[in-house]
Amino acid sequence: MPTPREAILAALHARLSTLPATALRGEVLPERVSGEGLLILRDGEPGEPEVTLSPLAYHYQHRAEIEAVVQGADRDAAFDTLTASIGAALAVDRTLGGLCDWVEAEAPKPVDLPVEGAASLKAAVIPVVLHYSTDDPLG
C-alpha cells in the first residue's frame, strides 16, 4: 500500500495524464515535444511539517513542480492553452479524490529556450502546493 505522499503524487500525475499533453513523472526532457506540449511532474519537497500532538499528526505543504514545455511556431498560444488546462484539471477536484486537503498551483514564470536546428521551446516550472496530513513523517 503506498504512503499518503506517494498516493497524492500518483493521483496528481493521473490527473495531468488526462490532458492532451504528454504527462511524465520524474523523467528527463525528451528530444522531441509533441504538438500538444509536455508536462513533467517532479516530486518536489515536502518541507518541514507543522506538528500537532493530540492526536499526533504531521501537516505538510508539499511543493511539487510541473515542468510545462511547448514547441512550435505558435508557442505563446500553445503555452497559454496548456497552463490553462492544468489549472482547469486541478480545479475539478482540489482534494484529488480526498487524498489531500487542498491542491493549489502557483503562476508560472515562462522562458523561451532556443534549440539548435529546431523551433524554440517555451517552458516554465509551475509550483503546485499539496496540503495534506499524515501520522508518520515517513508515510
pLDDT digits (tens, 9 = 90+) for 3-55: 999 999 999 999 999 999 999 999 998 888 888 999 999 999 999 999 999 89
pLDDT of residue 32: 82
- 29 vs 107, residue with greater confidence: 107
Mean pLDDT rounded to a whole number for the chain: 94
With 80 as the cut, is the pLDDT of residue 139 above it? no
Superfamily for the 4-134 domain = Phage tail protein-like (3.30.2000.10)
- pTM for this prediction: 0.93
Does a cis peptide bond (omega within 30 degrees of 0) precede residue 110? Answer: no
pLDDT of residue 79: 96
pLDDT of residue 116: 80
The torsion angle over the Cα atoms of residues 62, 133, 90 and 112, rounded to 10 degrees, is 0
With 90 as the cut, is the pLDDT of residue 117 above it? no
pLDDT of residue 113: 85
Q: What is the DSSP letter of 121?
A: E
Judging by beta carbons within 10 Å of its beta carbon (0-12, 13-18, 19+), is residue 130 exposed, middle or buried?
buried
pLDDT of residue 35: 85
pLDDT of residue 24: 97
With 90 as the cut, is the pLDDT of residue 63 above it? yes
